[in-house]
Amino acid sequence: MNDATPPAAPRLTSFSHGGGCGCKISPGVLSDILRNASGFPAPAQLLVGIESADDAAVWQLDDERALVATTDFFMPIVDDPFDFGRIAAVNALSDVYAMGARPIMALALVAMPIERLPLESIRAILAGGESVCAAAGIPVAGGHTIDSVEPIYGLVALGLGHPGRIKRNDGARPGDRLVLGKPLGVGIMSAALRKEQLPPEGYAAMIATTTRLNTPGMALSELEDVHALTDVTGFGLLGHLLEMCRGARVAARLSMAAVPRMAGVEALIARGFVTGASARNWAAYGDAVRLSDDGAQRALLTDPQTSGGLLVACAPEALEAVLEAFRRDGFAEACEIGEMVSGEPGVEVQA
Contacts for 322-330: CB closer than 8 Å, 24+ residues apart: 322/177, 322/179, 322/220, 322/223, 322/226, 323/179, 325/216, 325/219, 325/220, 325/223, 326/179, 326/181, 326/216, 328/216, 328/219, 329/215, 329/216, 329/219, 330/212
Q: Which residues contact 200 (CB under 8 A, 6 or more apart)?
A: none
CB 128 within 8 A of CB 134: no
Identity (one letter) of the amino acid at 69? A
Q: Are the CB atoms for 149 and 14 separated by under 8 Å? A: no
Residue 173's Cα: distance from chain center in Å?
A: 23
Closest residue by Cα to residue 274 from 182, 202, 186, 183: 186
CA gap 277, 280 in Å, rounded: 5
First to last CA, the chain: 67
Determine phi and psi for 176, rounding to 5 degrees.
Answer: -60, 145
Could you say which of 21, 133, 245, 314 is catalytic? 21
User: At 48, phi and psi to the nearest 5?
Assistant: -140, 125
Active site residue 21: yes
Number of residues that make up the chain: 351
Residue spans of alpha helices (H) in 23-169: 27-34, 81-98, 119-136
β-strand pairing of 289-290 with 347-350: parallel
Q: What is the 3-state secondary structure (H, E, C) of 4-25?
A: CCCCCCCCHHHCCCCCHHHHCC
Annotated catalytic residues are 21
